[in-house]
């Protein structure tokens, strides 16, 4: 299907689902499965059939101090796929997963501020700020085109505090950088600073394939650990400064084989003092996952590997996008990736899946192309 026709089909199919589905109150449900890994949790949440979640994307797990995991999702299909809410969460506690939805059936976060499909809030990343609270960054999105996902634009960054006893979200509060730059796209800490990574997230209506040129870039800011309201310092390429306009790109824009990395929705992690990143390049158009390493969050970032990623169904009908790290579950380095149909019609493909990858993919050593379209460090294998 041609690019423009494919995008049009996505929009028509999605809007049809939205318009046809009236809201209904919903009660949270808890489902217990057979395992406690990330893959088990996602299977329990989306495949069990006893809960209301039928599909979602842009999975972001936040590891809590007590071992539980708070999952955040965007555009969640509920009630057998008949209706969509712009955000929801899930609390993983061992083998059991509890859905986090609004009691009135709407979005879990900022429901009172949401005008469905015209103004809404997509969750970004977050972290636990004290024994009782998780701070979640959210992007305020507005549809400036004729219909949903026609020209979807982030206009501000807000925060929401989640009470860890009741799992009730608080009101919206301005983020330290409340601009549309989206500092909060990913959030990590090294013990001294909290680092807020930014990505412009202009996906729909800004170019031939939807994305604006700014989606090639990622910037980073920081604040002292524990000072959630402190002003940010921005990396300008040589030092940390107060001027947000001076923020410099940190994302690799060329692969080891010379291929351009046009869309870089990077996600970050720090392990034993080494920074790692994973990126499903190109969003739904690309077919590579990149593995990058750095000694500091601002880089320089070096690509240690890339591997092809196959959709869960027919490549002519399905795609993959947005890879994210999953908290350590004892099985190795686990990542999750979103999946969907090209035409946007709801199906059981629309859900994140998890897989374990070898740590050697982040090893900064000699790497070589393979016949299967990968670039792998010596001695590494595919996932």
> 130-181, pLDDT tens digit by residue?
999 999 999 999 999 999 999 999 999 999 999 999 999 999 999 999 999 9
379 has pLDDT over 70: no
Q: What is the pLDDT of residue 19?
A: 36
Class of domain 107-377: mainly beta
Q: What is the pLDDT of residue 28?
A: 64
Instruction: Report percent pLDDT > 90 for the chain.
Output: 66
CA 141 to CA 339: how far, in whole Å? 22
Q: Residue written as tokens 């990396």? A: 235
20 has pLDDT over 50: no
14 has pLDDT over 60: no
Q: What is the pLDDT of residue 372?
A: 64
- The phi, psi pair for 8, rounded to 5°, reads -60, -40
Q: How far is CA 208 from CA 202, 253, 260, 328, 378, in A?
A: 12, 19, 16, 38, 38
350 has pLDDT over 70: yes
Summarised one tens digit per residue, pLDDT across range 283-301 is 988 999 999 999 999 999 9
CA 206 to CA 183: how far, in whole Å? 21
Q: What is the pLDDT of residue 3?
A: 38
Do 292 and 311 meet the contact criterion of CB atoms below 8 Å apart? no
11 has pLDDT over 60: no
Quote the pTM value: 0.92
123 or 6, which is more confident: 123
DSSP 8-state assignment for residue 327 = -
159 or 95, which is more confident: 159
Q: What is the pLDDT of residue 332?
A: 66
Tokens of 316: 């002519």
User: Mean per-residue pLDDT for 28-50?
Assistant: 82
Going from N- to C-terminal start, the domains of the chain cover 107-377
Name which of 320, 316, 372, 310 is nearest 351 in CA terms: 320
Lowest mean pLDDT, pick from 9-13, 118-122, 251-255: 9-13
Kindly indicate the confidence band of residue 80, based on its pLDDT and cuts at 50, 70 and 90: confident
88 has pLDDT over 80: yes
Kindly indicate the confidence band of residue 52, based on its pLDDT and cuts at 50, 70 and 90: confident
27 or 45, which is more confident: 45
CA 195 to CA 270: how far, in whole Å? 11
CA 377 to CA 367: how far, in whole Å? 4
234 or 10, which is more confident: 234
Q: What is the pLDDT of residue 368?
A: 65
Distance of CA 138 to the CA centre of its chain: 11
């Amino acid at each position: 299907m041609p690019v423009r026709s494919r995008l049009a089909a996505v929009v028509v199919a999605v809007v049809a689902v939205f318009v046809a589905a009236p809201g209904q109150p919903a009660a949270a449900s808890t489902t217990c499965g057979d395992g406690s890994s990330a893959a088990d949790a996602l299977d329990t949440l989306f495949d069990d059939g006893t809960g209301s979640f039928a599909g979602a994307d842009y999975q972001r797990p936040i590891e809590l101090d007590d071992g539980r995991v708070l999952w955040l999702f965007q555009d969640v299909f509920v009630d057998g796929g008949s209706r969509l809410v712009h955000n929801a969460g899930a609390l993983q506690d061992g083998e059991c997963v509890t859905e986090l939805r609004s009691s009135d059936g709407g979005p879990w976060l900022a429901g009172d501020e949401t005008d469905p499909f015209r103004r809404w809030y997509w969750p970004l990343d977050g972290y636990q700020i004290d024994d009782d609270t998780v701070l979640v960054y959210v992007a305020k999105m507005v549809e400036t085109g004729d219909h949903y996902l026609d020209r979807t634009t982030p206009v501000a960054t807000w925060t929401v505090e989640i009470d860890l006893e009741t799992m009730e979200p608080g009101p919206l509060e301005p983020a330290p950088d409340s601009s549309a730059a989206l500092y909060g796209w990913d959030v990590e800490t090294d013990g001294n600073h909290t680092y807020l990574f930014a990505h412009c997230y202009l996906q729909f209506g800004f170019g031939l394939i939807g994305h604006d040129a700014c989606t090639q870039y990622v910037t980073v800011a920081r604040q002292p650990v524990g000072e959630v309201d402190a002003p940010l310092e921005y990396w300008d390429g040589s030092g940390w400064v107060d001027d947000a306009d001076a923020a410099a790109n940190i994302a690799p824009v060329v692969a080891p084989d010379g291929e351009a990395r046009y869309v870089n929705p990077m996600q970050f992690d720090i392990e034993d003092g080494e920074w790692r990143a994973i990126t499903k390049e190109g969003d739904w158009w690309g077919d590579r996952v990149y593995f990058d390493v750095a000694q500091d969050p601002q880089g320089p970032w070096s690509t240690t590997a890339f591997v092809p990623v196959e959709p869960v169904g027919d490549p002519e009908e399905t795609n993959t996008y947005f890879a994210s790290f999953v908290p350590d579950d004892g099985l190795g380095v686990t990542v999750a990736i979103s999946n969907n149909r090209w035409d946007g019609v709801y199906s059981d493909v629309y859900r994140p899946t998890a897989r374990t990858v070898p740590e050697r993919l982040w090893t900064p050593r000699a790497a070589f192309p393979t016949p299967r379209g990968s670039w792998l460090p010596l001695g590494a294998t595919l996932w």
